[in-house]
Structure 1
Amino acid sequence: MSATLAWITSLAILAGHFGLMLSSYNRINGFGWPRKNIKRCTKVMFAFTLAWPIIAAVVWREFLTDWLGGHADIASVPPVLAVYSILCLIAWPMLGIPWLYFRPALGIEAVKAMVKTEVVPVQQVVSNRLALTKKCKLESRLPINQVFDLSIDQIDLPIVGLPTKLDGYRIAHLSDIHLTGDIHPDFAGYAVERANRWNPHLMALTGDIIDKQPCIDWLGQIFGPARARDGCYFVLGNHDTRIVDSWQTREAMDRAGWTDLGSRGLKTSLGGVGSMIIGNEHPWYQRPTIDPKSEEGFRLLLSHSPDQFGWARQHNVTLMLAGHTHGGQGRLPVAGPLLSPSFHGSRYASGNFYRYPTTMHVTRGLAGTHLIRINCRPQLSLLTLRVAT
């Protein structure tokens, strides 16, 4: 094998190695495993990602020197190195082609929606300092960090199968508040205030409300002022399991005037249309038991994870709202996000999607345990539902 071909093959193997680890990281975070188990797995995977090229260079130094110089053939590749190298090369077509196919720039399964965006540097419009900890103060000062730049997106969202009476129905969608104590509650409180100012018919919160026990005392202050004609509804997410007893969060939200949709469907009337609002917190809590053949005119699903898209389609959901993925926390130009804790990888990291019969909106959320957002501002979604034509 020539030296040029050997170098190209080696770089392809190295890229496949990183792609394999990235894909595994995204998908392992889609499981409902206990947090400590996922953390252990991800730490091992991160260590292996960095260590494997070094280990290979040390253990097979003599072979690799000959290989890159064009003096070795494929038959002489050490067995362990050969097996893993083949796996890395297989990752290119198996993982790389779907990844490229579903890049946001190509718009596969995407719903074309009119969006009007207002970016608000929240620190400039609230009186309290938003960064409460040394970590947050340091990271929020990074010039590329958009962690306090709230994107308020007014979205005219076409919905296939939307009853005509609901054309113009307004839903304020929040997600991933992640109250850790790093960021002052005024940040999330400002998002609620702006949602109120828009005068929504319904307000939805799709999980990951709180990470640390002491922040339960903030819930009334943040969410108590929320107002919507047809009510404010919430589900919990994976980070809400970090509280000793998640019922403390549910009860605090109940006191703030919000309706807990965890693992149930609630029949109601929205805009004069017989409807069902459903909560799906799987895999961290129970899935609801819903008759897919009942005849509501409109079904709205609140799910923390976009991984429940398939479940929504099976249960004839008209509109699904989700969060969890934070838009990838960072987005590359054209390529879009890389990181996304989902069985689908970054396919549904954020945006609007349609697969019969369900339209899904995935918000980037408001915050996160990671305090850096690159080309991926926190998002308040103000959805105006439109009959798709």
Structure 2
Amino acid sequence: MAKKQTRRIFLKRTFGSFLTVLGLSSGGYLYANRIEPSLLDIQKLQIKHPLIPKSFNGVKIIQFSDTHLGFQYNLHQFNKLVEKINLLKPDIILFTGDLMDEPNQYTEINKLIPILKKLHAPLGKYCIFGNHDHGGYGSDIYRNIMETTDFTVLLNESAPIKLQDGSTIYLLGIDDAMLGKPNLPLTLKNVPKDTFKILLSHAPDLAETALQYPVHWQLSGHSHGGQIKIPFFGALVTPPFAQIYPEGLYSIGEDNPLSLYVNRGIGTTRLPFRFMSKPELTIFTFKAEK
């Protein structure tokens, strides 16, 4: 009971600070509650590395993350997102966790599955667990949904992405840091050392650990980009495991640096607001450096 009261007080104070610092009018409240959460920022980046085979040049990845269906984000909005992704014609689709806000309370799974099935990517659809995917005994619910809709669930596992000429890169997917049991050595088992590797980790701060292994890029979510940011102050709150790297592109380490990209996600959680942290869809295009 004390824990719930502490969370309630924390959220109340956070919301109060949000309103106080911004001096929000009813128009500002409407913007943060309705308008910005419905906007979509599309970021485009190149993934470059000497180990990327030349035949991968131009191959397109789309990453989306943190939809948190059932909190503020609904299936009508999600269906529009799926249509947008398909119009962008990705070769690979990656989902980096937190599909539903409370999986065991979500009542529209039968409507969700056909929408997820519509996502098309000729080189495959892949996903990992976020903390909300595990929460509320949701692990099996999430896995069943994703596997039913033709996603490959990577739970401390790797998957080769092969082109017709035999050239290969590897996707690595580790479990969530908060409610799961991430195991990067197990994930890397049987993955050739001289191949290009992309790690999918819901928690961006696990890049500090990934830096110690032969991983070249890491794609993450979880942070929501802070979700609510105050000018000259930054994010009001960032979750555990997203406090070092809250959003955007980072180069970590000096020798053989790890490139980390943190997607701001689509939905909201805890507080139904976004301010200066628009929902994001990220497009990556491979480019060989040879």
Same fold (TM over 0.5): yes
Measure the CA separation in 2 of the matches of 1:338 and 1:348. 15
The CA distance in 1 between the partners of 2:228 and 2:13, in whole Å, is 23
Correspondence list, 1:314-333, <5 A: 314-333=212-231
- Residue matched to 1:142: 30
Q: Tell me the CA shift for residue 323 of structure 1.
A: 0.3
Cα contact 1:304–1:323 (8 A) shared by 2:
yes
User: Which residue does 1:247 correspond to in 2?
Assistant: 140
> For the Cα contact (< 8 Å) 1:328–1:340, is it kept in 2?
yes
Which residue is equivalent to 2:247?
350
Rg comparison, structure with higher value: 1
Matched, 1:163 2:61: no
Q: For residue 179 of structure 1, give the secondary structure of its aligned residue in structure 2.
A: coil
Q: Deviations over 1:29-72 (max 9, x none)?
A: xxxxxxx99756545767999xxxxxxxxxxxxxxxxxxxxxxx
- The answer for the alignment partner of 1:175 in structure 2 is 65
CA contact (8 A) 2:63 2:93 kept: yes
Deviation at 1:219, TM superposition (A): 3.0
The answer to whether structure 1 residue 375 and structure 2 residue 269 are counterparts is: no
What are the superposed Cα offsets for residues 92-136 of structure 1, whole Å, 9 maximum, x if unpaired?
Answer: xxxxxxxxxxxxxxxxxxxxxxxxxxxxxxxxxxxxxxxxxxxxx
Residue type matched to 1:374 in 2? F
Counterparts in 2 of 1:274-289, with a 5 A limit? 274-283=168-177, 284-288=179-183, 289=186
- Give the RMSD, CA atoms, in angstroms: 3.0
Q: CA deviation at 1:320?
A: 1.1
Residue identity over aligned pairs, in percent, reads: 27
Amino acid in the other structure paired with 2:45:
D
Q: Distance in 2 between matches of 1:352 and 1:181?
A: 28
CA contact (8 A) 2:127 2:151 kept: yes
8 Å Cα contact 1:328-1:339 kept in structure 2: yes
Corresponding residue number in structure 2 for 1:207: 97
5+ unaligned residues in a row in structure 1: which ranges? 1-35, 50-137
218-227 or 242-251, which moves further after superposition? 242-251
What is the DSSP-based 3-state SS (H/G/I as helix, E as strand, rest coil) of the residue aligned with 1:242?
A: helix
Matched, 1:301 2:209: no
Question: For residues 84-123 of structure 1, what are the structure 2 equivalents within 5 Å?
Answer: none
Write the distance in 2 (CA, Å) between the matches of 1:48 and 1:147: 21
Calculate the TM-score normalised by the size of structure 2.
0.79
Higher share in helix: 1
Matched residue, 1:84? none
Tell whether the 8 Å contact from 1:235 to 1:281 is kept in structure 2 after alignment.
yes
Cα separation, 1, equivalents of 2:221 and 2:157? 19
Instruction: Measure how far apart 1:302 and its partner are.
Output: 1.2
How big is the shift at 1:198? 1.2
Matched letter for residue 382 of structure 1: I
Task: Please state if 1:363 is matched with 2:263.
Answer: yes
**CA shift in 2, pair 1:255/1:273, >3 Å:** same
Mapped to 2, the partners of 1:266 and 1:257 lie a distance apart of 14
Between the aligned partners of 1:186 and 1:341, the Cα distance in structure 2 is 27
CA distance in 2, matches of 1:293, 1:202: 20
Q: Kindly provide the amino acid, as one letter, of the partner of residue 172 in structure 1.
A: I
**TM-aligned CA deviation for residue 239 of structure 1:** 1.0
Go from structure 1 to structure 2 and tell me whether the alpha carbon gap of 1:148 and 1:47 turns closer, same or farther (over 3 Å shift): closer
C-alpha separation in 1, matches of 2:124 and 2:2: 37
User: 1:260 and 1:220 mapped to 2: Cα distance?
Assistant: 15
Deviation at 1:285, TM superposition (A): 1.7
Q: Distance in 2 between matches of 1:41 and 1:162?
A: 49
**1:254 Cα deviation (Å)?**
1.0
Asked if 1:235 corresponds to 2:128, the answer is yes
Three-state SS of the structure 2 residue aligned to 1:380 is: strand
